[in-house]
């Protein structure tokens, strides 16, 4: 029996979205319109991207591949920047963190022979890397804003005693980097037990030898944890400086 998603399945699935909107309306959460807008936008984007990728995946052109990496990376950086709550230079910081991470990760994967530099293999991996980095950087921005606000007095006291901005910010930076990494670490701890690994399952359904599928999933897990750690570190250490002026005075 061939399994497939039918229009009836999509309609029934949308009923669940309506239920989510009902909860939002009943509890006055104010997210009903956002839920509807999000799913409509997701459908439109998936239809367009699906047909575009079908064409692009058939190409074996390095320029096209690099162009797709740049588009994905910039999109991720832009979305992370929008979560910064007006941290100065947040777009530049996001781009630096994401581009550094994706160049390092893809270089290792391509040079080791794990993947080929073609759109059908580079685009999905780039999406995983940028998606993980985007979420991590967004969390870092949120935590930096919250912690500098909550610990304002402690930072001022340390500065008055002669500490540099870096020294005064160290506890905040540690908490921020840790918080940014936590979703990836939690996912790594529970993969295969709570969450079923998508890549491994997909490869096995496609008939790949189990050990090969397992090794690819381990590679992806390593990649996501490393991406989260590197992007969290870079974004935190670049962004915290914007809370101080050139004379090392605290601005928040």
- Confidence check: pLDDT of 141 > 90: yes
Rounded to 5 degrees, what are φ and ψ at 220? Answer: -65, -40
Per-domain residue ranges for the chain? 1-56, 62-243
pLDDT digits (tens, 9 = 90+) for 6-55: 788 888 888 999 999 999 888 888 888 899 999 999 999 989 988 887 88
pTM, entire model = 0.79
CA atoms within 13 A on the CB side of 208: 16
Query: How far from 161 is each of 57, 154, 157, 167, 242, CA to CA, in Å?
Result: 59, 11, 6, 11, 21
Find how far residue 227's CA is from the centre of its chain: 9
According to DSSP H, which parts of the chain are helical?
7-26, 32-56, 62-82, 90-111, 119-150, 152-160, 165-190, 198-205, 210-239
């Amino acid at each position: 029996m061939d399994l497939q998603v039918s229009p009836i399945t999509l309609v029934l699935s949308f009923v669940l979205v309506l239920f989510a909107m009902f909860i939002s309306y009943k509890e006055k959460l104010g997210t009903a319109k956002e839920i509807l807008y999000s799913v409509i936008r997701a459908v439109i984007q998936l239809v367009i991207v699906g047909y575009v990728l079908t064409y692009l995946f058939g190409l074996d052109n390095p320029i096209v591949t690099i162009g797709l990496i740049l588009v994905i990376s910039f999109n991720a950086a832009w979305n992370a920047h929008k979560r910064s709550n007006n941290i100065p230079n947040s777009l530049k910081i996001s781009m630096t963190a994401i581009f550094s991470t994706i160049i390092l990760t893809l270089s290792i994967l391509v040079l080791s022979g794990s993947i080929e530099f073609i759109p059908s293999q580079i685009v999905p991996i780039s999406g995983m890397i940028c998606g993980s980095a985007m979420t991590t950087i967004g969390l870092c921005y949120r935590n930096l804003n919250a912690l500098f606000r909550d610990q304002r007095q402690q930072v001022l006291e340390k500065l008055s005693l002669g500490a540099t901005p870096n020294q005064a910010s160290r506890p905040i930076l540690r908490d921020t980097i840790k918080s940014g990494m936590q979703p990836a670490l939690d996912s790594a701890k529970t993969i295969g037990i709570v969450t079923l690994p998508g890549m491994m399952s997909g490869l096995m359904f496609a008939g790949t030898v189990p050990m090969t599928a397992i090794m690819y999933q381990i590679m992806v897990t390593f990649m996501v944890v490393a991406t989260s750690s590197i992007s969290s570190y870079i974004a935190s250490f670049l962004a915290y400086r914007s809370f101080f002026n050139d004379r090392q005075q605290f601005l928040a």
